[in-house]
Chain A
Amino acid sequence: MISRRTALKLLAGGSATAVMANGLRLAVADAPTERRFVLVILRGGLDGLASVPAYADPDYHAQRGSLAFDDPDAAEGALDLDGFFGLHPSLSALHGMFRAGELLVVHAVATPYRSRSHFDGQNLLENGTARVNGATDGWLNRALGLMSSERQLGLAIGQSVPLVLRGPTPVGSWSPVQALPAADDDFLSRLATLYRDDLLFGPALTEAIRLQEMSDEIIGKQDTRRSRQDAKALTGVAESLARFLADPNGPRVAVLEAGGWDTHANQGLLTGRLAGRLAGLDEGLAVFKEASGAIWRDTVVAVVTEFGRTVAVNGTGGTDHGTAGAVFLLGGAVAGGRVIADWPGLSGDRLYGGRDLTPTTDLHAVWKSVLAWHLELPRDGIERIVFPGSAGVSALPDLIKT
């Protein structure tokens, strides 16, 4: 079995594609585009009001309670974007990109999905229709089909190809070699629930967690270690991903996934579970930018999730499944430095179902824009093949530099 170290050595030693599973380099034809697109799916439902707080909304503090950030001029306030919206303080690299005009935020955005199941929400996020199981393949695979290239242009980072990239157009996949994924805090707490009444597995898990905490203490790791572990994994693959994309004969489109955003309890504000995750995401994206070098100017990275979360804090210091949230578009090709939002407001009567941020922008409008102006796919194909049945949704203009 190849150890992780061997894989890293291979990566360091030569062209990144040398270690890629066969297929990606098989047919080295001219790529139909020099543009790069990376889709980062955050599974579990990222709280859009935590990543991008609307700190100046008159109802923000009242509705958000203990999860509200202070204004940017306070010591530990949100990082200011435009005087109305801010960024979570963990997202300092993204804040730098925003000021450099390389980060665009679209807020109050959602897929057409309006219920609150992770499984169905993610299915719809990826199948690209307005219905659960509305397609058996993914919209990004269909988009790759429009490029009609001999080259294999799509790459999934991970142990399996996610639905969004599955379909008739062949894609590659790559994952860093590792023994087993580490169970993070969130998964451990779910296990603890599962084993609550079990006399064998319950005490065994309690002891396992105790041992882990003890070793953390002795080794002196931060309390957000396990929250960050998954996100750290993102940092680890971010560099490899940049190398793959930078290779002239490599892929042009890649999908990357990260879990742990389902913050029902103890979500935290400046520290804690979500802060750790976001810091890891921020670091991963910064590493990607750094490693991508010359291709950065041709790149758009989109960071999305299946739905946002409730505006109000629940009884356990967390937030529950909601509807609209925030999307990040970053990269040298993004016309950034702006927050795009048809802001619905946070007063009680403005909330979706009386609890969620109301969606005012369809996520498909963002995708249509990226596909049309960044990947330069034919409008007709985008409408008919990639997002069938979405004729009522127009592409958001001016997201991409011209």
Chain B
Amino acid sequence: MATAASFIATTRFGLGPKPGEQERIAADPRAWLVEQIVPLDLPPSALAGLPSSRDYLTDLGAARRQSGEEKMAARKARRMAHRKEVALRTRAQIEAGDPFHERLVAFWSNHFTVSVKKPHLFAIAGAYEREAIRPHVVGRFEDMLSAVLHHPAMLLYLDNVQSIGPNSPAGKRRHRGLNENLAREILELHTLGVDGGYAQEDVTELARILTGWSIGRQRDDVPGGFAFHARAHEPGAKTLLGVRYPESGIEEGKTAFAALTRHPSTARHIATKLARHFIADEPPDGAVSRLATIFRDTEGDLAALARSLVQEDAAWANPTAKVKTPNDFVVSALRATGVDADSKRLVGSLELLGQAPFAAPSPAGWPDTGEHWIGPGATLSRAEWALALGRRLAGHRAHEVLVATTIEPIVSASTRLTIERAPSEAEAIALVLASPEFQRR
């Protein structure tokens, strides 16, 4: 029988229960979660066979020689490819049998956000998640950080491809210089955190370290992949967070990633974000400290962190501590109802409710607190979306099945009464989905 623990396991850690999922795992919800903390050889089947970022970027390289019309057509094709990827990624979440693993993918993807708010990122953003995030969600933080910073999507998104050492051969010839966008966000968002104890000099120095980190051109070894352009790399020693980095080309960056991973501020920053995502908007200090200790002791073993989250009692205390994001809301509703939404509807729903995948408003990613998501407009939009879904579903007493699948262990008597009093099946279903219980995790 479904319990508060099976609700939390499937809803907070997972992506919302499918029919029967709570009953199946109720005997040991924590074990079900721990089983999902394993590396996967293959991406979810929904994502199999999609083009790599190199495929896209090689096309982009070729586009330089295209006419205006061809360029337009190529741009349109990439937008189409992106929408397809968004739909398939959402489908992967809806179908996932290991939803905790999928949630970890989404969490880390959001932590290391790239966004199509920069149009260069169309199509590549999805490939980035498959290539740089997915393989490492239960691996090591340093490996993920390294994969992210070797990936063309991040190098494009935060302008590192334009950053050139002013004293490098390329810089001198072209009178160009540093762009510190990526360096700043690495320190502020990806590792130490905004109060993590770094100064402007550290940003500049990291930017110098990362000069030359770019995308392969046609004449490079890996066109459309990562390339280190030594001729753009700022020569000379750098000093990051008080540590001197003698000139060593690409190795400087790799050393810096290791140092940032071992920095206590990074442990604290990551622990806080994980606790906020899996425990509460204002996570308890004790839990954050425990997670930070695990991060430090294991030097960023993400599987160990995921396991300790599962064992963190605070994560099991309040079944409705978190508000679902629009993505959580849509995915959990479709998992629970089994409504087969076509790709257009899927993408359209997420756009309408304000969270199109890979379109976060800033490098900080999507916010992870309830007050950011729930305002007057969002409240109505979600209810109306629920009503539309209810009208599509509306089988006899389908709302009862929906309650049993989802909020049964935690539903209040007054919510149940309001649902039962609905004048039609469609509205009853809508009220289940709009209920405060369903909209939380």
Chain A residues near B (Cβ < 8 Å): 1, 43-45, 118-120, 122-123, 132-133, 158-160, 162-163, 179-183, 186-187, 190-191, 193-198, 200-201, 204-205, 207-208, 211, 259-262, 264
Contacts and interface: CB of A to CB of B under 8 A. Distances in A.
Given A44-B423, A186-B423, A201 B384 contact: no
B424 interface: yes
A194 B436 contact: yes
A160 B393 contact: yes
Contacts of A180: 352, 381, 384-385, 387-388
A365 to B, nearest CB: 24
Contacts of B434: 191, 194
A196 B435 CA distance: 11
A210 B223 CA distance: 57
B424 A259 contact: yes
A264 B421 CA distance: 10
Given A1-B348, A160-B392, A205-B379, A198 B436 contact: yes
A118 B424 contact: yes
Contact of B397 (A44, A119, A182): A119
Contacts of A179: 352
A53 B391 CA distance: 32
Given A201-B439, A204-B379, A119 B387 contact: no
Secondary structure at the B interface, as helix, strand, loop or mixed, is helix
6 contacts: A133-B396, A180-B352, A190-B427, A201-B374, A204-B375, A208-B379
Given A43-B424, A179-B352, A194-B436, A204 B384 contact: no
B391 A158 contact: yes
B377 A208 contact: yes
Contacts of A132: 396
B60 interface: no
Secondary structure at the A interface, as helix, strand, loop or mixed, is loop
A194 B344 contact: no
B5 interface: no
B436 A118 contact: no
Nearest to A264: B421
Contact of A190 (B377, B384, B431): B431
Q: Which residue of B394, B399, B430 has the most chain A CB atoms within 10 A of its CB atom? A: B394
Contact of A183 (B383, B423, B428, B439): B383
Given A43-B423, A179-B352, A160 B374 contact: no
B370 interface: yes
Given A118-B422, A160-B394, A181-B391, A259 B374 contact: no
A259 B431 contact: no
B142 interface: no
Nearest to B439: A201
B371 to A, nearest CB: 7
A211 to B, nearest CB: 6
B426 interface: yes
B436 A159 contact: no
Contacts of B425: 118-119, 122
Given A200-B323, A201-B379, A123 B396 contact: yes
- Closest 4 pairs between A and B when the two form their complex, measured CB to CB: A262-B423, A44-B423, A208-B376, A180-B384
B414 interface: yes
Contacts of A44: 423-424
B73 to A, nearest CB: 21
B376 A204 contact: yes
B426 A259 contact: yes
B420 to A, nearest CB: 8
Nearest to A194: B418
A197 B414 contact: yes
Contacts of B218: none
B279 to A, nearest CB: 17
B378 interface: yes
Contacts of A182: 384
A382 B415 CA distance: 42
Nearest to B391: A159
B188 to A, nearest CB: 29
A398 B104 CA distance: 68
B391 A191 contact: no
Contacts of B348: 1
A172 to B, nearest CB: 16
Given A186-B423, A200-B370, 18 more contacts: A118-B422, A118-B423, A119-B397, A158-B391, A159-B388, A162-B394, A163-B396, A181-B387, A183-B383, A183-B384, A183-B387, A196-B414, A200-B323, A204-B376, A211-B376, A259-B426, A260-B423, A261-B423
A55 to B, nearest CB: 27
Nearest to A259: B424
A223 to B, nearest CB: 19
B428 A119 contact: yes
Interface in B273-306: none
B397 A208 contact: no
A207 B427 contact: no
A286 B379 CA distance: 35
Interface in B41-92: none
B380 interface: yes
Contacts of B422: 118, 190
A208 B380 contact: yes
